[in-house]
Amino acid sequence: MDSNPDYVYANDKKSKVNAPAPYIALKLPVTESIDYDVALYIPGGADQITRNTPNGQSFNQWAGINIPGPIGNFKQIKETNSNQFAVVKLVNGISVRFGNLSLGASIEAIYGTQKLNQKYCDITGSLKTPRQGYYYESSKKAFSIGGVVGANHTVTDRFRIGYSYQAHSSIPLNGSYQIGLNDPYYYRKSGVSHKFDLPEKHSLGFTYGPENFKIAVDLIHTN
């Protein structure tokens, strides 16, 4: 702990779920051996942490402003970082049974969205500093296509083996980047190219047990 009380602070780390991640699926039998499936699911910052100003400067000196009173002379600032990211998949699949062997394939419509934000405030967190921080937001047209194929073999009434292959897909998160916030002289906005890759994946799974209780083991390799 620093001997100067002006440089002493404490932070804590918190995590919370901003929204539920639903999984909604519907399975429709086409014939006795063919099934059609459709599913919608969502696969999966810090707020106002305290920092010392660089070189022991006051808030006024660091931000280049003039706020009277103790807030302007304080040698600490509040920093806020946030990263909001989500991937949504709409899956259309079909499976066919040949005795103890089932083969399946699906096409995934994928949508992604991301927002990044960083800002600095005075120690109370109420006054945003000019020229500091940035903001990024992806385009609303961040769509991609993916696919999965797989097989499932029933060896015995209790033992099954399955394999699936998920193709690589890439979500174009091209958007805009803003810097120099809260100051029209330094403010700049530019387009940015960015993509989020969903890797190619091989999965091999084993299940054992009766219908009401099964033990499963999955081996997964990603490229």
Q: Residue written as tokens 């799974």?
A: 205
How far apart CA 133 and CA 80 sit, in angstroms, is 9
Coil, strand or helix at 123: coil
Domain ranges across the chain: 18-222
What per-residue confidence (pLDDT) applies to 18?
Answer: 54
User: Which pLDDT tens digit goes with each residue over 148-179?
Assistant: 999 999 999 999 999 999 999 999 999 998 88
**pLDDT tens string 75-122:** 777 777 777 888 888 888 889 999 999 999 999 889 888 888 887 777
* pLDDT for 202: 95
Higher pLDDT, 54 or 166: 166
Q: Above 50 in pLDDT, residue 46?
A: no
Let me know how long the chain is: 223
Burial class (CB in 10 A: 0-12, 13-18, 19+), 122: buried
Look at residue 129 and tell me whether its pLDDT is greater than 80. Answer: no
Predicted model pTM: 0.67
The CATH code of the domain at 18-222 is: 2.40.160.60
pLDDT of residue 123: 75
Over residues 173-187, the mean pLDDT reads 84
Beta-strand relationship, 195-198 and 188-192 = unpaired
Whether the CB-CB separation of 221 and 192 falls below 8 Å is answered with no
